[in-house]
Amino acid sequence: MNMPTPNNTLNIETVLKKIERTRQARRHKFYLRDEKITLSHGSGGKATHNLIEGVFAPAFSNPLLDTMDDAAIFGPTESGPRLAFTTDTYVVSPLFFPGGDIGKLAIHGTINDLAMAGAKPLYLSAGFILEEGLPIADLRRIVASMAQAANEAGVAIVTGDTKVVQRGKADGLFINTAGIGLIDTSRSIGQTQLQPGDRVLLSGPIGDHGIAIMLAREALDIETDVKSDTAPLHSLVSALLAAAGQDVHCLKDPTRGGVATALNEMALSSEVSIALDERAIPVRPEVRGACEILGLDPLTIANEGKLLAIVGQEQAAAALNALRSHPLGREATLIGTVQAEPQGMVFLRTEIGGMRVLDMLVGDPLPRIC
C-alpha cells in the first residue's frame, strides 16, 4: 500500500497517485442516477457525494480541488506562505434558533473549515441573498451577530456582496462566507493522511445542533433545552496542534451528515478502515431521547462546534489531554482506531457487543440544517 511516509513529508507524486485512485474508487461508489435535484442532494451524505462526483468534480477537476478537503491549500508564490481557502453557503431554517442564528453559524462554519486545515483564520467574505420583504430589523440582528462572532474569533469581514430576489424566490436570507487562513507549518493535515494505528478523537457530545434546529422547526411535544453547539474551533485546534505536533493527521468538523459521514469520507480518501466503539461516543441524554422519538441516529446528525481529530498512536494521549484542557473540548474522548483493512469502511462496535457497518447518511432526515 502506498502510504504517506510516517513523518508526513509531502511526496507529490504519491499524493497525486493516491488522489487519482481515490477518485476512481469514488466514481465507482458514487453514481448519479437522478434527473432532478432532491433535498437529499443537500444532506452532506451519500446523495451529496453522488452529485459532487457526478457533476462538479469531473468538470472542475484540478489537484487542489481533487483532495476534497473542506479547504484548498496553496502557496500563492513560491517563497511566500501557504494559505487555506474555503467557502460555505448557509440556508438554515429557521433563521434564529436556540444557541444561535444563521449569521453566527456562517462565521463559525467558515472559521472551522479553515481551522480543520490547520490554518489560522484571517479574513472572511460575506455574500447575502435577501428576499424582498425581509424585515430590516431581522437583517440588523443577524448582521450584529455576525460582527460579534467575527470579533470574538479575531477575524475580519473584508469584502461583501448583497443581492435581492423577489418575494417567494428565496426564504428570508441566505449567506455565503468564504475565508482565507494562514498555514504557518509544513504539516500536511487532510483526509488522505490517515494511517493504520491512528486514534480517532472526538471533542465532545454529538447531535446538539441538528436536534436544536429540528426542535425549533417542528411544533413537537418534546420538552428539552437542547441548544446548537455552534462555536469557533480555531483556538481548540491551536491547542491540539501545539500539544501533538506533527502527529495530527486529519481534522474534520462533523457538520451535515454527522460523524458517520465525516469518518466515511476519511476512510475512503485514505483507503483505510475505521473501527469505532459506540459506548465511547458521547451523546447528551436529551439528544439521545429526541433521536429515539424521531427515529434518527445521532451519528448522522449535524454538529457545529465539534471536531474529529485523527492522531498518531504515540501522541494520542497528549492530544486528548490538550482537547480536555480547552473549554470547547472538556468532554473529548477516544472513540476509535484506524485499521488497514477493509479499505474505505467504517465499523461500529455496538453497545450490545455486536459489530455493524456504519455508512454515510442516506436520504436527508433534516434538510436545511446549516
Binders of a copy of itself in range 51-110 (CB under 8 A): 51-52, 55-56, 59-60, 62, 64-65, 70-72, 74, 76-77, 79-81, 83, 85-91
Out of 102, 115, 134, 214, the residue judged to bind a copy of itself by CB under 8 A: 134
Quick check: 139 binds a copy of itself (CB under 8 A)?
A: yes
Q: Are 227 and 284 in contact (CB under 8 A)?
A: no
Quick check: 178 binds a copy of itself (CB under 8 A)?
A: yes
Which residue in this structure is represented by grid cell 453559524? 105
Out of 24, 159, 185, 186, the residue judged to bind a copy of itself by CB under 8 A: 159
Question: What single letter denotes the amino acid at residue 152?
Answer: E
The long-range contacts involving 162-165, CB below 8 angstroms and separated by at least 24 positions, are 162/127, 162/128, 162/130, 163/127, 163/128, 163/129, 163/130, 164/129, 164/130, 164/131, 164/132, 165/129, 165/130, 165/131, 165/132
CB of 140 to a copy of itself, least distance (A): 6
CB of 334 to a copy of itself, least distance (A): 31
Quick check: 16 binds a copy of itself (CB under 8 A)?
A: no
Quick check: 362 binds a copy of itself (CB under 8 A)?
A: no
CB of 90 to a copy of itself, least distance (A): 8
Binding mask 256-285 for a copy of itself (x = CB under 8 A): ------------------------------
Choices 33-41, 209-217, 266-274, 316-324; region in contact with a copy of itself by CB under 8 A: 33-41
Side-chain half-sphere CA neighbours of 86 within 13 A: 26
Out of 96, 131, 289, 334, the residue judged to bind a copy of itself by CB under 8 A: 131
Name the nearest CA neighbour of 104 among 261, 284, 227. Answer: 227
Of residues 134 and 348, the one with the C-beta less far from a copy of itself: 134
Angstrom CA distances, 140 to 92, 126, 145, 167, 278, stand at 17, 14, 8, 19, 43
